[in-house]
A and B are shown apart, each in its own frame.
Chain A
Amino acid sequence: MKFETTTESLAQAVATASRFAERRANLPVLGCVLITAEGSRITLRATNLECGVEIVVPAKVTTEGTVAAPAGVLSGFLNNSKGKSVTVSLVGEVLKVEGERANASIKTIPHEDFPILPRVSAETSFTIKASDLVRAIRSVAYCASLSAVKPELQSVLVYGDAGKLTTVATDSFRLAEKQMALKSGGSIPQLLVPARNAAELMRVLETVKGDIEIYYNDNQLSTQADAIYYTSRLLDGAFPNYRQILPKEFSTEALVLREDMSSALKSLSIFADKFAQVSLAIDPEKKSLFLSSRNPDVGEQISTVKATIQGDGVAVSFNGRYLADSLQSIVGDSVRLHSNGAGKPMLIKDASDDSFLYLAMPMNR
C-alpha cells in the first residue's frame, strides 16, 4: 500500500478517527485506525464498538491496500509533522510515514480482526441543520448521569414530533430539555444515544455547514456529514417519563439577569461546602434574590441579585454547580426562575426563548 496526501487533511482525519479508537480494548485492533487506500482516496475507520467513524480523504494512491496502525501513535506523529504533503507506505508489517522533515516507521497490527461498521438503512431518517443538532445536544448533554447504575440515564434522549426535535438528559438531580426545529422527518421515536457518543457526534458535526440527515433503527444511529460517516449504538431501555414531573404551576416567579446570576454563582462556589450547597432566598419585598454559601473551613458569602418577583417568598437550597450549569445553555440576557417553595424542584428557563428548560432538584439539608 502506498499513497500521498496533504499533511493537514490526513492529520485532521486521523485525529478525529483516533477519538473513536479504544485504547484499553481487549482486542488490540480496536486501538487502531484502519486505513484503506483505494481508487483516488483513502478511508480511515475507527471504532470502540459503541460508536464508529469512517472518514474519506482524497489521496494519490500508488498501490492499493489496507493497514491497521495504532491510533495514538499515528495521530501523535501527524499532529507534529510539518510540510504540505505526506507519503504513507506499507513495507512488510511496518507503516512508513514520510513527512517533509520527519520520517516514522510504525508497527502495524493485523487488520483482519477489524470489525465492519454497522450501516443503517435509509428507511427511517430525519433532517436537521447540523448546527442546530449540535446545539440541541450541547444544551443538555452535561446533565447525563455519570454512573452506570442506570444506563438509560447515561444517555441523551432524542425524539421528535410536530416538526420539532427534542433532546433531554438527566442524572435524576437535574434535567435539561432543548427543542430545535426539524427540516424533515417529523415523528421520531425515543432514541437513547449514549452521552459519550453524543459528545462525539457533536464534535463531528461542529465543522459541518448546512443540513444533515440522520438515519436510525432500533439499535443504531448514523449520519453522513461531508466526508465523515458516523454511527453510534442506541441504548435499549426506557427513558423515565420526565414530562409528568415537570411542574405546571408555580407559587413564585423571579426574573434575573443571566450575567448577575452567573457571576454570583461563580464567586459563591469559592465558599461552597463539599456538597456545593447554595442557599437561595427570593424576597418579593426587597425585590431581590439572596444567594449564600458557607463552608466552615473557608467562610461564607452572601450575594444579592436584583430581581423582578411575582408570588410568595421562598427559601431553598441547591447544588450551586447545578444552577450554574443551567446558565451555560441560556443565550438570552435574562433568566426566569420558577419555584413552588422549599423542598420543591425549581424550573429555570430562558426568559426570551421557550425552547430550553432546566429542572433542578433542591437539596434536602
Chain B
Amino acid sequence: MTTTKELWENALVELELSISKPNFNTWFKDTHIVRVEDGSVFLGVPSQFARDWLSTKFHKDIVRSLRMLSDSVRNVEYVISRGQKRAQEEPRTIPPPPTELALEPVHQKTSLNPRFMFSSLVVGPFNELAHAAAQAVVRKPGIAYNPLLIYGPTGLGKTHLIQAIGNHFRMQAPDRKVYYVTSERFSMDYVSALQAGKVQSFKEKYRQYDLLIMDDVQFLAGRDKIKEEFFHLFNYLHDGNKQLVFSSDQHPNVIQGLEDRLKSRFNAGMIVSVTPPDHQSRLAIVRTKAAMHNFVLPDEVMEFLATTIEGNVRELEGALNTLMIQFEMRGEPLTINDVKTLLRGSNAAAKKAVSVQEVVKTIANFYGVEEVSIYEKTRRKEVVRPRQVIMFLLREDFRISFPTIGDKLGGRDHTTVIHSCEKIKNDLRSDSVLSNELHQIRLMLK
C-alpha cells in the first residue's frame, strides 16, 4: 500500500512529462494530497488561483495520471490548504521507532536503507576493526575518524557498515542531515547539474550535510571534472568538521587514476579493511540471517553452507534466500540432501575453475578406467558411462557448451553430448547409485 504522498509524487512524475515545464512548476508547486476518501482524492493546492486553474485546465491530466497508479481513484477534488510544509516537518521531529524502520523502504531524505543497522551486522574477526571504527564515528561524528574509509572485496558488508553509520546517526540526531550516495549517483547528479546549468545548487545540496556517506569511491577514478568537484566538496565538509564516510573495493593508494591529493586526504583519516570471513564467522552469519527471517535450519545445513560458500557474504545470503523460497514452496523442512541438490546448480557450486582434463582425470579415476579411453571412440560399457557422466557434469556444473564438450572429448558431435546429458539426467531420477556417485565426484572436484 503506497502512502498518499508517494501516490502524488508518482503522479507528479507522470504529469511532468505531459505538461510543459513552466506550467508544471507554476501550478503543481506546493500541491499535495490531503486525504483520499471513497475514491475521491482531495488535492491540497496553495491558492484559489491554483484551484481554479488546475480544475479547468489540468483536471483530466491529473485524474488520468492518478488512475494509472491507483484503480480506486474515481474523482479529484481541490481544496485550498497550505498545511503541507508543517505536515512535512512534523514526522522529522519525531524519530521513527527502530521497530518500524524495517518496514520503511529507502528513506527519502537520506537515501539510506533502514534495514542496515549495527544490530543486524555479524561482527567477527574479519570486520571487527571496521565495526569498531564505525561505532566510534557514530559516537563522535566529525571528530573520531574523519574521513573513515572502509575497503575490501565485494559482498563483505561495506555498504551495510557505512549505511548503519548513517542510520544510527539519524536516530541519534534526527535534525542533522545525513546523505548516502554512491559515487555513480554523485557523478550522475553532477553531470545533470552541469547540463542544466545548476552547478551551484548541486554544490549547495551536497554541502549542507552533516554526514555524507559515499559508496564505491573507486569509481571516481579517471573522471577528472567529477574528481575535482569531489575534492572541493571533501575539503569543504572536512573543514567544517562534517563527518565523511567512504567505501571502496581497494586501498585508495592502489586505486588507479586517483590523484595523490585525494589519496593523501583519504589517508589522513582512518582506513580500515574488511576481509573475507573465516569459517566461524560464516557460520555466525548464516545463523543471524536465518534467524532474522525466522527461518529454522538444521545445524548440519548451516555447517554445509558455511563450508561450501566461501568468501562472499552476499553469496551466502543468496544461497539462504534460495533455500527459503524452496522451503516456502514445499512447506516441509529441508534436509541436508535437499540443500545440496538445490545449491548444486547455483553459482556457488560452479564458481571453481577446473579444466576439462582435470574433470576427466578425476572421473576416470573414480570409475577406475583409463583416462585415454575416455577420448577414444570406444563404446565399451565401462567407458561409456563415465564419459556420459563427464559430459553431464561439464554441462551442468561448468556450463560448457555442447559443441565444446564434444570437441574436448575426442571430437564428438554435439548431439552425442546432448544425448549423454539427457540420459544421465533421466537416469538420475531413478538411479540412486548414480546420484550418489555424482555427489561424491562433485565433492572431489571441489
Contact = CB atoms under 8 A, between A and B. Distances in A.
Given A116-B53, A116-B56, A236-B81, A220 B26 contact: no
Contacts of A25: 22, 26
B52 A28 contact: no
A219 interface: yes
Nearest to A28: B22
A112 to B, nearest CB: 9
A47 B50 CA distance: 12
B25 interface: yes
A349 interface: no
A118 B52 contact: yes
Nearest to B53: A115
Interface in A105-152: 113, 115-118
A102 interface: no
Contacts of B47: 49-50, 219-220, 233
A233 B25 contact: no
A94 to B, nearest CB: 22
B82 to A, nearest CB: 5
A218 interface: yes
B25 A26 contact: yes
A320 interface: no
* Secondary structure class of chain A's binding surface, majority of residues: loop
A220 B50 CA distance: 12
A52 interface: yes
B43 to A, nearest CB: 15
B55 to A, nearest CB: 10
Contacts, number: 47
A30 interface: yes
A236 B86 CA distance: 13
A49 B49 contact: yes
A236 B82 contact: yes
A30 B26 CA distance: 10
B19 to A, nearest CB: 10
A237 B80 CA distance: 13
B80 A115 contact: no
B23 interface: yes
Interface residues of A, number: 20
Nearest to B80: A219
Interface string A264-287: 000000000000000000000000
A238 interface: no
Contacts of B56: 116
Interface in B52-86: 52-53, 56-57, 80-82
B131 to A, nearest CB: 44
A49 B25 CA distance: 13
B87 to A, nearest CB: 14
A236 B30 CA distance: 14
Contacts of A219: 47-48, 80
Interface in B279-314: none
Contacts of A115: 49, 52-53, 57
Given A218-B80, A236-B80, A236-B81, A116 B26 contact: no
- Residue of B21, B47, B56, B82 with most chain A CB atoms under a 10 A cut-off: B47
A52 B53 CA distance: 13
A246 interface: no
A118 B82 CA distance: 18
Contacts of B20: 113
Contacts of B23: 27, 113
A219 B46 CA distance: 10
B414 to A, nearest CB: 65
B203 to A, nearest CB: 23
A233 B22 contact: no
A34 to B, nearest CB: 13
A26 B80 contact: no
The 5 closest A-B pairs by CB, nearest first: A118-B48, A115-B53, A27-B26, A26-B25, A27-B22
Interface of A: 25-28, 30, 47, 49-50, 52, 113, 115-118, 218-220, 233, 236-237
12 contacts: A26-B22, A27-B22, A27-B23, A27-B25, A49-B26, A115-B52, A117-B49, A118-B52, A219-B47, A220-B47, A233-B49, A236-B80
Given A27-B25, A116-B52, A236-B81, 7 more contacts: A27-B23, A28-B22, A30-B26, A49-B49, A49-B50, A116-B56, A236-B82
